Amino acid sequence: MGQTPPLVMPVYGTRPEAIKMAPIVKELEASASLQSFVTVTGQHRAMLDQVNMLFGIVPDHDLNIFQPGQGLVAILTRTLDGLDKLFTVNRPRVVLVQGDTTTSMAAALAAFNHAIPVVHVEAGLRSGNPWSPYPEEGNRKLISQIASLHLAPTEASRRNLLRENIADKNIVVTGNTVIDALLGAVEKPLPFRDPALEQLASAGRRILLLTTHRRENQGGAMRGVGRALARLAARNPDLAIVLPAHANPVVREALLPALNGFPNVLVTDPLPYGEFCRLLSISYLVLTDSGGIQEEAPSLGVPVLVLRENTERPEAVAAGTARLVGTDEARIEAEVTSLLDDQRRYRQMAGSTNPYGDGRAARRSVEAVQRLVEEISG
Ligand code: UD1
Ligand code: UDP
């Protein structure tokens, strides 16, 4: 009888972690020399399950921590507690965490407290400001302090880690696994379940796609974004504005009042990943504070106006596809109007190249995990 392969445990809990971990989970499933045990925290519920279902991932363990209106400390303590119990009965050789959510930070901390090496997927992103994005900048810096292997998506993220004295030998530049997921999703465009979206897709109108959810934008800034979009909708009746609203009720309460009643504004529930990628690919322009969308849009040639003052993803800005516009109402209106009217400027932004990888990041990540496991197994 052969030996059981070493157990590798990806832990994730939110939509973007699920999207970016899925290609790694698939790669692990195909590996003969590693055995994967997928654990989800359930920090997000519907938005997480939607992604797992699309990728055909059935988690081996679900901490099911979701509570409506949950606070950061509740997410942290419930994850720590759940993983503490799990690790005593099911001890993996390494734990994989992705990005900078509270799930990721808590999972890294729980593993560290069990002396289990942590692999950080999408390591080294830095905005330089601990309050923006909050709490993500703090979370990812904390994970960097305790991770054994840092999978950096780009050379810039590798340099950030070196500046913080992370040893070069523990960093591997892989590309971002979001490109692996995206390329798979756009290969076979899915029909929209919402007939209004299907109609929009065949109408050939210009689509402005809006998403926002960042904690630091909630409240006044988000209300301002809503008002700016309402003015743009009124001034440009041929423009279709689509808002797949985040599940957080705080986001809806801030944005929707200003946007109610416009025939050219369509508000939907969070879209399944495949449908969202198709919508992104047919959009004229994206307005977002999302991290993942800043990485996906350049691959599809869609310009991004980022509703933030800074970004830990400077590559897309440098490439020319993304532009930081913040949340000032007048600025948003002016920037969108300029890209609607100035075709030369629009083509410049749309024509840039994707700096986030070639779709083989998951393969490189699993190869690096394999080397780490061999090293620690002596
Ligand atoms: C979280 C991450 C953020 C990531 C984002 C992706 C943290 C601190 N934040 O932010 O880094 O960019 O996910 O979307 O980890 N909710 C639902 N149903 C769901 C998901 C959320 O009702 O499926 C509600 C929750 O009840 C909660 C609110 O949305 O009140 C916020 O959820 P939470 O996970 O705390 O933070 P996000 O803003 O989603
Ligand atoms: N996304 C999705 N459905 C939606 C909106 C976004 O599948 O309705 C995907 C999007 O393609 C990207 C990810 O969700 O891959 C981004 O998630 P989010 O903006 O919530 O988080 P962030 O990336 O900012 O952490």
- Tell me which of 17, 27, 62, 100 is the catalytic residue: 100
List Cα–Cα distances, 363 to 7, 15, 97, in angstroms.
18, 21, 16
CA distances from 368 to 150, 151, 374 (A): 10, 8, 10
CA 88 to CA 242: how far, in whole Å? Answer: 46
Candidates 269, 283, 265; CA nearest to 228 is: 265
Q: Is 13 in the pocket of ligand 2 (CB under 6 A)?
A: no
* Residue 1 pLDDT exceeds 70: no
Q: Give the domains, in start order, of the chain with CATH numbers.
A: 7-176+358-377 (3.40.50.2000), 194-350 (3.40.50.2000)
pLDDT band per the 50, 70, 90 thresholds, residue 334: very high
- Closest ligand to Cα 253: 1
Rounded to the nearest integer, the mean pLDDT of the chain is 97
Mutate to test the pocket of ligand 1, among 52, 65, 101 (most ligand atoms within 8 A of CB): 101
How many whole angstroms separate alpha carbon 198 and alpha carbon 252? 23
- pTM value is 0.98
Q: What is the pLDDT of residues 29-77, one digit of tens each?
A: 999 999 999 999 999 999 999 999 999 999 999 999 999 999 999 999 9
Residue from 121, 258, 106, 226 nearest 178 by CA? 121
Check residue 2 and give its pLDDT: 63
Best mutation site among 97, 273, 294 for ligand 2, i.e. most ligand atoms within 8 A of its Cβ? 273
The stretch 255-283 carries a mean pLDDT of 97
Q: For residue range 78-118, what is the model confidence (pLDDT) as tens digits?
A: 999 999 999 999 999 999 999 999 999 999 999 999 999 99
* Ligand that lies nearest to the alpha carbon of residue 294, given by its number in the listed order: 2
Residues 6+ apart with CB under 8 A from 97: 10, 11, 12, 103, 104, 105, 107, 108, 111, 118, 119, 120, 121, 143, 147
- pLDDT score, position 3: 80
Q: Which ligand is nearest to the CA of 16?
A: 2
Distance CA 171, CA 215 (A): 30
The mean per-residue pLDDT over the stretch 161-186 comes to 97
- pLDDT tier for residue 190 given thresholds of 50, 70 and 90: confident
CB 13 within 8 A of CB 41: yes
**Residue 246: active-site member:** yes
Task: Please report the pLDDT score of residue 202 as a whole number.
Answer: 93
* Cα 214 to ligand 1 centre (Å): 9
- Give distance in angstroms: CA of 326 to centre of ligand 2: 19
